[in-house]
Structures are given as C-alpha cells and as structure tokens.
Structure 1
Amino acid sequence: MQNASDTHTGTETLARLPLFETGFRVFFLAAALYAPLALLLFLLDLAGLASPLAGATPLSLTLWHGHELVFGFIVAVAAGFLTTAVPVWAGSPRIHGAPLVGLFLLWLAGRLTMTFAGLLPAWMVALVDLAFVPALAFMIARPILQKRLWRNAGFIPLLLLITLGNILFHAETLGGTGTDGAAATGLRFAIGLFVLMTVMIGGRVIPFFTSNWLARQGKPPLSDSPPLLVRATLIACLLTVLASLFPLPGWVLALLNVAAGLLVLARLSRWQGGRTLSDPLMWVLHAGYGLLGLGFLAAATSHSFDSISEPASLHVITIGGLGVMIYGMMSRIALGHTGRPLVVSPFITAAYFILILSMLLRVIPATFLPDWYFAGIITAGAGWLVVWCLYLVVYTPILIRPRPDGKAG
C-alpha cells in the first residue's frame, strides 16, 4: 500500500525532470495535448459517433468543449507564459520543481473533474476547477509585488477576473441547467479577457522582436508607438470586454468593437510586418495580432447587421487571433528558452497556414455557404487537430529534454 513517503518521493522524482525545469515546458506540452482532445470529443459528438464522455458529464459537449478550450487549453498556455516570463521580468529565481509540479497537478485535477463531472458532486467539480487560476495569480503576484513591477501588476487582476468568468459558468451548472445563459456569458467574458491579455503582451513583444529582427537584417528599427495610441487601445479593449457582461443595445456593442478593432489594427500598422515575411516566426505574430483586430470588427458586424453570426465572429477571435498568436508564441518561446536557434521547422510553418485556413473554413461556410456549414466545421476541426499534432511531433522532444547547452531552464 502506498504511504505518504512514497507519494513524497514520487513528487520529488517528477520535480527533477527537465519537464519541470520551467513553466513553459510542462504547460505548453499539456496545452498541446489537450487542445486536440477537447475538440475531438466535440467533433465525435457532432458527427453522431459514440463519445467517450457520453454519460460522464451533465454538460452538452458544445458547452464542455467551449469551457475546456478556454479554462483548460488557453489557461494552460497563459500559465506556461507567465510562470516563465514573470521571474525573468523580476530577476527572481525560476518557478520550477515541486511548486511547478503542484501547480500542474492542480490544472490536471480541474481537467479530470470537468471531464467526469457527471460522476461527482457539482460543488466538488466547481471547487477543483476554480482553484487553478487564483493559484497561478498568487504564484506570479509574489515576485511582481516584491520587485514593484507595477507595469506587470495588471496580470493579477486579469487572472482574478478570468476566475469570475469561470464562476459564472459554474453558477449556472450548479443550478442544474447546464444551458447557455450565464455559462455562455462567463465564457465570452473570459475569452475577452484573454484577448485583452494578448493585446497587452503582443503590444510589447511584437515590436520588440521586430526591431531586433530588423536590426539583424541591417534595417532601420521601428519607432515607438505614441503612448496615447497604446492607452486608447487597451482602454477600448477593456471597455468592450466589460460590456459583454451586460445586455446593452447592439449598436453600443458594435461601436465598442469597431473602436477596439480599429485601434488594434492601427497599432499593428506601425510595426512593419510586411518587412518580416521571410521569417515565419515573425510574420505569424503580426498575422495573429491582425486577426485579433479583425475579430473585433467581425463581432461588431454580428451585433449590428447580422451578416455574420456571433459564433462565427467568435471563431475569428478564438481560432484566428488567439489561436495564431498562441501557436506563434509557443513555437518561439520553446526554441528561445531552450537555447535553440530561432529557426522554425517547415512542419510548423505549414501549421501556421493550416491554422489560418481552419479559421476561414469555420467562418466562411457559416456566413456565406450555409449548405456547407457542417462540412466547414468538420474540416476546420480536422485542421485544428493536425496543427497540434504537428506541434507535438516537433516540440515534445524539445520540451522534455534538457537544454543542449547544459544550462538550467
């Protein structure tokens, strides 16, 4: 029979693995494994095939897959980025070993309880699933506050607000309905907050990476964006996200989304992405940021003219903006932080194009070709599965092995 010392020894063994040397390793691998799984079960159900989750969850698989792609997949990516970046920003020790193992196991517990929610008390499912994001916020808050990194302190309330979105989701499921009222509002709110976070991070790293890349090519660097444009973009995005919580008139939501979208695209236009087309690791970030801006404009259209449905506009943001930005950052960080050259595999370059194509296949048939709606969803889903399988093939060996230069991290 296993005792406490055996469990402790097992945790110590896990903590010594290269996978737990830095946050991006374990959480990027977990995200890449979970992204196709969370969609595959939904696609099986959509196609009328037997789902392994039949009877295991009280939620519709549409609602389940939406929750898991947001609070499972995207949250894991955010955890990988923040647990890696915050210690670098703060000049503090890496988050690794046992604390990282504990954080990952908390994420994994949330995924298991959500998958088998029908077999567990609803309050237990909610409690376990809600625990991860506040734990992540607490873990990154300490170095941020100790070093007074006020520029980065905004990530702490953002994470707590994302938890609020998850609370809204569970508030409805605890009521026994499992429908798309408060739960859908919670999902939209959390997605909006992740978009805001991505606009913040992208607005810092894309011009920085681009300037460095241009300098290596012997080209003039970028000029700084006007501070007023930066502040206006973030405020417009924040107001748009907060507005999603309230039953406002469609024209109000449309105006907010138009303002946010145009400001995001205005910032992007200053970063000279056209000069980086020879480097996939560079242009993919510009493309993802642009799709965030287009996603806001698509949402405005859905609120005002109904020429594009709300689910279709949402997938411009989720598959296009968030998906492309996430994939680009995950492929770049895994190379840079393991001491490898920033040269992307041809398989990953192909994945960038497939991901953008998947977004188009999800949106265009749903908007303009209703007879091809079902085929569009299935084909877009297949593209999503291929994209993450390619990531796993290329990056699993990188994420689970020590750095080739022998350094920690």
Structure 2
Amino acid sequence: MKARYPFLTLILLLLGALLASAQDLTCREIVEAAFESLQDNCAALPRDGLCYGAAPAEASFAAEANAADFSSPGARAPLSGLASLTTSAADLEAGRWGVAVLNIGAHLPLTREGPGIIVLLAGDAAVVNEVDPADAMQVAQPLSTIATEATARYKNPGVIPAPVGSLTADELALVDAWDNTGDWLRVVNGGEISWVESEMIVRLNAMDNLPRLALGDAYAMKAFSLSTGTAFAECSDAEPFVAIQTPPDLPANLTVNGVDIQLGSMVTFRQVHRNALSMTVHRGKATTIFGQTVQQSQTILGILGKTDERENQVLEWSGALRASDEEFARGERAQGALNRLAQANGWGEFETFMYLADIIHVVQPGDTLYDLTAQYNTSVEGIIAANGGGDDLRLLIGMELIVPRPGSGFAWRGE
C-alpha cells in the first residue's frame, strides 16, 4: 500500500498542474486556442457535414435514424436530419470556449471543389434547422453529353441571359439539372455553373431523372433560426457570434430567422438584445427580402418577435449604419477562424476590410464636391488626392471620379 502513495501523490500533483494551467490561460488565449483547434479537428470537412471544433458543443437530430456520435472535438455528422447545433460560452476555469462548423453544399454542383456555405458558431450560439429532410433537394451526379452545335453558355436561364462562355459543336458537357421550365440545362464543367438551352444538347434518357431547379428550392439547412447569448462575455474576444461565408462568386439565398437574405460573401450575426439581432457585412454585400442592400462594413439591426412559427422571427430591419470598431474586430476574429479552417482543408483564404473598396462615380449634372462627399460618407481631401490632388479639382459632366473609402465617415475641408 505504501508504494502506491507516491504514485497517487504524483497523479494529484499533475492534475493540479493541469487545472492551474487552464486557469492561468487568459480569456483571449482560450478563444485563440479554440479557433486553432479547427485546423486539427475539422480538416477534410465533407460537403453537407458538420464538425465539432472545440468543446463545449452539442448537436441534436430530428430522428434516431439520423443521430450521430457528436460527443467530442473532432466529431463529424451529416447535415441530413440535424435538428440543432449549439456551442457554449467561455469557461475560464476549464479553459474552454465552444466552436462548431457547418459546410452546406446547397445547390452547388458535385464537380465543384472547395467549400460550400460555411456557418461558424462561436461561443454562446445556436442554430436550429427549419428544413424538413424530405423537402431538401439532392444535387445529382452530372451526366456526360455533347453539344449538338456551337452555342453560348449563360450565367442564368431566362429571357435575357448574360453570356459567360460557349460550347463548340460536339464538345463535352456535364449536365446535372433542368431549370424550372425545362428549357435550359445546367452545365457544370470544371465546377463552373452555366446554363445552355436544352435543344443545343444531345438528349439522354437519363436526363428525365435530373432535378429541376427553381428559385426558392430547399436544400439542407437553407432555412434556420440563429441566436447568441446576450450576457456580457468574459472578454471582448469571447463575444459570441454566428459567421456565414459563401463562395465569393456564388451568392447564397438563405432564410434566416424567417426572412430571406441573399449573402455574398462574409457576414456575422450577433444577438445584441433578446429582441434585437445585428448583421454586419465584412466582405461583399447582403440583400434583404425588402430590397435593402447592406454593403461591406455596414450593419443592420433586426427587430425580433415571437410568431407562430418561431420564437425569434425578424419582423423588420433597420437602416444600414457604418460598422463599429467592435463589429469590425469581430469580423477579423471570424475571418481568422475561417482562414484556419481553410488552411486545414486546402481552401482559399480571405481578408476583411474596414471600408468599401474605392468606387467610380460618373459625374452627373448638378453634382458638387460637397454633395458627393456627403453622399458617399467620405473625406473631401481623400477625393481630391485620389483624383490628382490640387484645390482646383473641377467636376465635369461624364467625368469618372474616384471615390476612396466610401462609408469611412464624412469629412469636409479642415474637419
């Protein structure tokens, strides 16, 4: 028995050291470690899959048949049948902060490499699936056929489509879907999406089994409700959020908390009050169902209310405001985590920017330098410097005027 005591003492000392080590970690270090774990735990993330990045996280499934073991970091599960996914706030004593990731395949072709729509949950956050698995359209394996003659490929099917390329006569065409009218076929050569009039493609019997794509068709996790904790975080770095990143060339149509939004290509959501949800665009833009466009480095606020369908329905959106420094910092943290995930999976990495990229304004009759400075919420000195400098800058109708850093804040001469 005596021989066991030194061994037991050693175990207790080691355990104490581990606990002390966890407690010695700062809040920021805990968050950073959680994001770094994405590289080890979420590599080779499959299409329509979710990953347990850092503890604590929990997934529930709609039916026993869809249930998967999602009990520890590194666990994977398919999106089919997912009911909800939650992550937890920082636990400083245990040195933990929950992180989880979804890779939504949407209607992207199977020939396309790289990520789908990435949803990142960090801290006290949750998403609840609102798509019945039976209603989710499955993307088909593409069929190989050829063009009957030289023809154009278009960005979208329709009456006035925009050409994006061509097919030569007898050129191979991989097709995986019809449009809703049955007059167009989706061509997915090399993962690029384009549309060709069906009469220009050699018809195969197997094409009768291809799905028809229509605006609003459901796919796994196309519609979901999200929420985050509203309590003060242990530190600013541990602020909870849900980030959504879409492929840069393919905006995604999602239904979030009951309202349709087109996103392209990185936004964060945070519940700032139990009745208010903020959405900040960190790269690209977002368009709401009301036709409101939210540009990069802008934030809108959604008013939440209880309806028959859900507890946290977005009832209306506010006007867009310039993102705060805190919101910009959140975007940088989110993008840093997404880039770690990208590194682990061999995907492209991205940056966030505080302000919109420079734009070109074509001078119209009646335009003045003051009005344009106010319109674009920027600096007059910046406009002058970007267009050659000098106080004698004259605005001529039709002139292409460079407007730098729109949205960075109005500043007239000397302000």
Structure with bigger helix share is 1
Q: Work out whether the TM-score is over 0.5.
A: no
Max Rg structure:
2
Higher-strand-fraction structure: 2
Answer 1 or 2: higher relative contact order, Cα 8 Å, separation at least 6.
1
- Provide TM-score, normalisation by structure 1: 0.24
TM-score, scaled to structure 2: 0.24
